[in-house]
């Protein structure tokens, strides 16, 4: 995917990492902005309208979780990739719960990072991809593939990029059990077996947004040992 012209916000307090990210993203034609602490990161996330945010976890002034939480509190759906250290296993899950779309662990290869950036780049970057599409319905939930709008009982629901992709996958493949591996591959474009908790956490977040009672879901049904099934 071509990411030239896209604006990436890098929130990272280590100058050397900012430099190498900047260099590689600019080589792909991206425009980059850097913030070296959490407060500045949040401020730039809300004012600079980035197409994607690379967010370090351990930051001065405000940590990555808090930055992520506050961005989502402002109904910003910009894709966020959380950057964590390898030993911080639990942090990944917390990051996803705070509304991050994906995470990458340090140290990462630039190839891996660019692949993640391309996978997660704001979906408005695929303008003419759609065949003539129509609104998909499931009960009182609607999804419009042209405008990327999702509503429940007539009210617009702000979804993050991966929440939207997952819901769209479910709604276009209803009544069919999808394993977590399958969802990982189809929605996250990971060909290898990534961390399956990414799928579970995103499902949980999606249920909280589209289910009337997330504890007793009517649409996204768990099939224990098999995966998830979407019911229209
Ligand atoms: Ca840091």
| Contacts with 145 (C-beta within 8 Å, 6 or more apart), sequence order | 130, 133, 135, 136, 168
To which residue do tokens 């499931």 refer?
Answer: 138
Q: Vertex 166, ends 160 and 168: CA angle to 5°?
A: 100
The answer to whether domain 7-120 and domain 136-230 are alike in fold is no
CA of 29 to the centre of ligand 1 (A): 25
**Conformational region of residue 230, where left means phi above 0, alpha means psi within -120 to 50, and beta covers everything else:** beta
Identify the architecture of domain 7-120 in CATH. Answer: 3-Layer(aba) Sandwich (3.40)
pLDDT of residue 134: 83
pLDDT at residue 83 tops 50: yes
User: Long-range contacts: 40-46, Cβ < 8 Å, 24+?
Assistant: 40/11, 41/9, 41/11, 41/67, 42/67, 42/70, 42/71, 44/9, 44/11, 45/9, 45/11, 45/71, 45/76, 45/78, 46/71, 46/74, 46/76
pLDDT at residue 101 tops 50: yes
Contact between 78 and 50 under an 8 Å Cβ cutoff? The reply is yes
pLDDT of residue 222: 95
pLDDT of residue 12: 97
How far apart are the C-alpha atoms of 108 and 85, rounded to whole Å? 10
User: What is this structure's pTM?
Assistant: 0.68
User: Which numeric CATH code is attached to 136-230?
Assistant: 1.10.10.10
CA of 80 to the centre of ligand 1 (A): 16
At 158-181, the pLDDT tens digits run 988 889 999 999 999 999 999 998
CA of 44 to the centre of ligand 1 (A): 17
Domain chopping of the chain, boundaries: 7-120, 136-230
CA of 15 to the centre of ligand 1 (A): 10
CA of 100 to the centre of ligand 1 (A): 17
Helix (H) or strand (E) holding 230: strand 227-230
Contact between 78 and 51 under an 8 Å Cβ cutoff? The reply is yes
pLDDT at residue 152 tops 90: yes
CA of 202 to the centre of ligand 1 (A): 25
CA of 231 to the centre of ligand 1 (A): 42
Question: Residue 127 is encoded by which pair of tokens?
Answer: 């303008």
């Amino acid at each position: 995917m071509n990411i030239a012209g896209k604006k990436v916000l890098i929130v990272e307090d280590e100058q050397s990492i900012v430099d190498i990210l900047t260099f590689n993203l600019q080589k792909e034609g991206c425009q980059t902005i850097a913030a070296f602490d959490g407060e500045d990161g949040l401020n730039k996330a809300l004012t600079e309208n980035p197409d994607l945010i690379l967010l370090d976890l351990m930051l001065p002034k405000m940590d990555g979780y808090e930055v992520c939480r506050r961005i989502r509190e402002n109904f910003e759906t910009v894709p966020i990739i959380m950057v964590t250290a390898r030993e911080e296993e639990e942090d990944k899950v917390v990051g996803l719960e705070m509304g991050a779309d994906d995470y990458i662990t340090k140290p990462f290869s630039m190839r891996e990072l660019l692949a993640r950036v391309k996978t997660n780049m704001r979906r408005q970057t695929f303008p003419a991809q759609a065949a003539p599409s129509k609104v998909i319905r499931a009960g009182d939930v609607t999804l419009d593939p042209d405008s990327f709008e999702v509503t429940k009982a007539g009210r617009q629901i702000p979804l993050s990029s991966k929440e939207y992709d997952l819901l769209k996958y479910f709604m276009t493949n209803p009544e069919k059990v999808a394993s977590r591996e399958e969802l990982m591959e189809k929605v996250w474009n990971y060909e290898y077996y990534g961390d399956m908790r990414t799928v579970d956490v995103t499902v949980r977040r999606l249920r909280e947004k589209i289910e009337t009672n997330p504890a007793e879901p009517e649409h996204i049904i768990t099939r224990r040992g098999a995966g998830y099934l979407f019911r229209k």
